[in-house]
Amino acid sequence: MIEINNLHKKFGKLTVLDGLDLEIRKGGIFAILGPNGSGKTTLIKSILGMVIPNSGEIKIDGNSVLKQWDYRNQINYLPQIANFPANLTVN
């Protein structure tokens, strides 16, 4: 289960997530819909630990995702356009 409580994220003066509360139960199917700039990608990247929220809490199976990475082994994520850091290489 994914639990999100009072999640906030700003980029400069732009508020992207403003007190988001969300619960996704195990086995559920969930869609995130909204116009460009509404925070969909920021939410997903916050769940994955790729964006750090300004405040709020994200839990997966009751455990905070903050500085915990094992939970990501259970999540698949494929962005429409992948932007990798220039220093990332494959041997």
Q: Is it the case that residue 77 has pLDDT exceeding 90?
A: no
Closest CA to 11 of 40, 51, 48, 44: 51
Coil, strand, or helix at residue 73? helix
Q: Is it the case that residue 90 has pLDDT exceeding 80?
A: no
CATH architecture of 2-74: 3-Layer(aba) Sandwich (3.40)
pLDDT digit string, tens, across residues 7-23: 999 999 999 999 999 99
Percentage of the chain beyond pLDDT 70 is: 100
pLDDT digit string, tens, across residues 27-64: 877 889 999 989 999 999 999 988 999 999 999 989 89
Domain range list for the chain: 2-74
DSSP tag of 50: S
- pTM of structure: 0.81
What's the CA gap between 14 and 37, in Å, rounded?
10
